[in-house]
Structure 1
Amino acid sequence: MKRLAALPILLLLAAPAQAHKLKVFASVEGGDIVGSAYFVGGDKAVGVPGRILGADGSLVASFATGPDGGFRQRAAARMDHTISVESEDGHAARFILPADQFPPSLPEGKAMAAPSGDAAALEAAIARQIRPLREQLDAYESRTRLHDVMGGIGTIFGLFGCWAWLQSRRSRS
């Protein structure tokens, strides 16, 4: 019976485990890397230090997020960039921007085919338009929804039911 009483306490302690998960999102606007860092649940990560690494792992830039959790850095070359942020309490997140999202006007960081001028302008315009949608989708995917909670509770009750059924069968024999 003591084990059963401890179960709700353990469940209450486990609930905030994802509450401070750090996420980072970035996209390319023109020749700039623009993004934001936030905690799951919607809180902005203010003043969090971050780094931008090049394709070879070398440090390209360092930054700190602003009051809105956002950052903006100029890209020096067209290559894969890895954006990483780490909060003071040890939470960290990474996001990779592939080289093909950068405009062809930037010098090549590695060998790749550059799109023509019209295609590059079109790609830049599309990137500007879909950036807010990509941010919303990323935030939506990391949010805990009611059906997630209800599914977890249902699993717990189902496991408890199986355990109770097995206990009743043992007491009969």
Structure 2
Amino acid sequence: MRRLAAILVLLLWAAPSQAHKLKLFASVEGNDIVGSAYFVGGDKAAGVPGRIEGADGSPPLAFTTGPDGGFRLGVMARMDHTISVESEDGHAARFIIRAEDLPPSLPEGKLMAALPETSQIEAAIARQIRPLREQLDAYESRTRLHDVMGGIGMIFGLFGCWAWLQSRRRGS
């Protein structure tokens, strides 16, 4: 019985750890990387420090999320960029923007070039798609009723197996 109580306490203790999980979402709009940091459940991560590191080994660019958890930074070169944020309580998240997602007008390792006509269209489409991608990412990270019911079913199932094994031991 003591083991069952210990397992139940551990299961209940593990649930809140996901409640403050930090998530990061970023996309490309023109020559900018635009994104937001938020906690699972939808709370915005305001004032969280972060940095963007390029694949070329250049010094990281530091930023702080705004009151809505968002950020916007200009990109200087077409390469992979790793975005990371870390809250004061130690939660961290990373997101990688691949070089192929950046406009082809950006030369590798050089200053920004002017956007041609097609890149402006791509930037407008990216602005329209970004909210949909954010909603999808937030939806995937929510805990839904079937997740909770599945967890409760798992607990009852494990308890049933334990009770069955105990009854077989007593019967032998």
Same fold, judged at TM 0.5 (above): yes
**How many Å apart are 1:24 and its aligned residue?**
0.7
How far apart in 2 are the matches of 1:82 and 1:57? 11
CA-to-partner distance for each residue in 1:86-128, whole Å, 9 max, x for gaps? 1111111000111122223322249xxxxxx554344323212
Indicate the residue corresponding to 1:158 in structure 2.
157
Code of the residue aligned with 1:97 in structure 2: it is I
Looking at structure 2, the residues matched to 142 and 56 of structure 1 have their Cα atoms a distance apart, in angstroms, of: 32
- Secondary structure, in 3 states, of the residue corresponding to 1:152? helix
Mapping 1:47-126, distance limit 5 Å: 47-109=47-109, 117=116, 119-126=118-125
**2:130 is matched by which residue type in structure 1?**
R
Measure the CA separation in 2 of the matches of 1:58 and 1:16. 38
**Superposed displacement of residue 149, structure 1:** 1.1
CA RMSD of aligned residues (A): 2.0
The alignment's TM-score, normalised by the length of structure 2, stands at 0.88
Does 2:142 align with 1:135? no
For structure 2, list consecutive stretches of 5 or more residues without a partner in the other structure.
Answer: 111-115
Write out per-residue CA displacement over residues 49-78 of structure 1, whole angstroms, 9 at most, x where no aligned residue: 100010134334110011111111111111
- In the alignment, structure 1 residue 169 sits paired with structure 2 residue 168: yes
Q: Does 1:28 align with 2:4?
A: no
For 1:166, the aligned partner's letter is: L
CA deviation map 1:7-57 (0-9, x unaligned): 443333222010111111111111111110011111111111100010134
Percent identity between the aligned chains? 80
Query: Which residue is 1:147 aligned to?
Result: 146
